[in-house]
Amino acid sequence: MIRVTWILLLLVSLHRAASAETVAIRGGTILTGAGETIENGVVLIRDGKIAAVGTNVSVPADAELIDASGQFVMPGIIDAHSHIAAESINEGSVAVSSMTGIEDVLDPTDVDIYRELAGGVTTSNVLHGSANPIGGKNAVIKHRWGKDAKGLLFEGALPGIKFAMGENPKRSRGQGPAARYPETRMGVIDVIRQAFTEARAYQKEWKEYEEKKRGGAKGLSAPRRDLELEPLVEILEGKRLVHAHCYRADEILQLLRVAEEMGFRIATLQHVLEGYKVAKEIREHGAGASTFSDWWAYKIEAYDAIPYNAALMVEKGVLVSINSDSAEEARHLNQEAAKTMKWGGLTEDQALALITINPATQLRIDDRVGSIEVGKDADIAIFDKHPLSVYAVAQKTLVDGEVYFDRGLDLVRRAETEARRKELLERAKGGSR
């Protein structure tokens, strides 16, 4: 019996794979994330991309149908701050760990990839930890559960890097023989200034070399490559995004100023719990802000954190997203976004943007994901109720038009797993068979 069901399931999934070229999600309320709500609409997907959206969409006869009657269809949720699917997070032994990167340690078997699909998440910005003023490189991934590490990577996403301010980089190695500079916020800024001073010299060395080479000079030897400084040069040249962990308003400001002094911009301020105090300066610098909804008081630099932070920064013109920083929190980012309606009075559209198009824009992948629009990747989450309600339960999640999470199927499979577990236990107890 068990075997028969497994074969059926296999056939079902084979069938899905075979006809996955055209998929139509019908009957639901579509929250496009592009300012539109379409009742009883259709999302037509062809080859993993959104081919049509609306009420008057003709569905080809061979399309695989997903019935979303009475349900809500929204863009896949994007988490701008995640630490899932990685074998390690912090290289804390050095103050500048820009030579390291999450891509080298991606773990496609981390079940959190699936658990977050079950909360509607389709893209995550997997970041290095916050032990260093300048941390390691990030990896933007799609939740293609079952694919290998390379298959997870969001192809073409602009690379990024982690920076960190405040208590974490200060205290990360504690006292004693493991102690590490910096110990203060002064030292944190100094490390960044030093590193970029070196990076600019390194950049200059290479530029001079390239110029001489172009000029036809003979007998040149290339400067020695420096894997620590290369990512910093990419930052200076706008080819790598800085995602900076920060809490207090003063350290946020110091970071913006040292970046301006060194000639680069901060792409996103992460956590940015006191961002509401310096929203004006953040907007003027052009940084995005990616924050938690309402965590506070767990450490002193989080004591002035308020649940109005996201809404207030939005009101002051900052591009804001709500992130998780946690494999658990990521499973209900829709609820975290809903809190901004209560604390600060954002509209439904504004609240949804915090977990869809805004993080997409912050990660510079908004041409690919973040809204349900023709030409974009078919990364879609389907909830049984309005996703800003506490009662909404994710039903299906699609990445590139493929169903990676299906609650109905999950319920069937877990029953099978349980039956199999029981059978194996019986056998183990029963001895030889």
Partner 1 sequence: MTGMALLLLALVSDEVYAIRGARIVTLAGEPIEKGVVVIRDGRISEVGPDVAVPEGAEVIEAEGLEVYPGIMDAISQLGLTEVGAVPVTNDTVELGDFNPQIRAATAVHPASEHIPVARANGITHAVAAPGSFSDFGGAGGFGIQGQASLVNLDGWTVEEMAISPSVGMVLRWPSLETRTFDFSTFEPKTLKFEEVKKKYDERVQMLGDWIEDARRYDRAAAAGAEPDLKLEALARVVRKELPLLVVADDERDIRAAVEFASARDLRMALLSGRDSWKVKDLLREKGIPVILGPTLALPATEDTPYDKPLTTASELQAAGVRVIFASFSSANSRLLPHEVGNAVAYGLPWEEGLKSITLYPAELFGVADSLGSIEEGKTANLVVTDGDPLEIKTEIRYLFIDGKLVSLENKHRDLYEKYRARP
Residues found near partner 1 in the complex (CB under 8 A): 111, 114-115, 118, 167, 276-277, 279-280, 294-300, 303-304, 306-308, 312, 315, 327-329, 331-332, 335, 338-339, 341-344, 388-393, 410, 414, 417
Those residues with Cβ within 8 angstroms of residue 422's Cβ, 6 or more apart along the chain or in another chain: none
Q: C-beta of 188: minimal distance to partner 1 in Å? A: 18
Could you tell me if 327 and 107 are in contact, meaning their C-beta atoms sit under 8 angstroms apart? no
Choice between 114 and 209, CB closer to partner 1: 114
Choice between 92 and 231, CB closer to partner 1: 92
Choice between 83 and 331, CB closer to partner 1: 331
Q: C-beta of 342: minimal distance to partner 1 in Å? A: 5
Q: C-beta of 338: minimal distance to partner 1 in Å? A: 4
Measure the CA–CA gap between 423 and 418, rounded to whole angstroms.
Answer: 9
Question: Which run of H or E residues covers position 189?
Answer: helix 185-214
Measure the CA–CA gap between 35 and 33, rounded to whole angstroms.
Answer: 6
Choice between 374 and 415, CB closer to partner 1: 415
Q: C-beta of 298: minimal distance to partner 1 in Å? A: 4
Q: C-beta of 236: minimal distance to partner 1 in Å? A: 32
Q: C-beta of 316: minimal distance to partner 1 in Å? A: 9
Choice between 63 and 337, CB closer to partner 1: 337
For residue 57, count other CB atoms closer than 10 A to its CB. 14
**Sheet strand arrangement including 268-271:** 134-137, 160-164, 241-246, 268-271, 288-291, 320-322
Could you tell me if 278 and 247 are in contact, meaning their C-beta atoms sit under 8 angstroms apart? no
Measure the CA–CA gap between 239 and 233, rounded to whole angstroms.
Answer: 9
Choice between 53 and 327, CB closer to partner 1: 327
Q: C-beta of 90: minimal distance to partner 1 in Å? A: 9
Choice between 88 and 194, CB closer to partner 1: 88
Q: What angle do CA 127, 131, 135 make, to 5 degrees?
A: 50
The phi and psi torsions of 130 (rounded to 5 degrees) equal: -110, 30
Question: Which run of H or E residues covers position 427?
Answer: helix 407-430
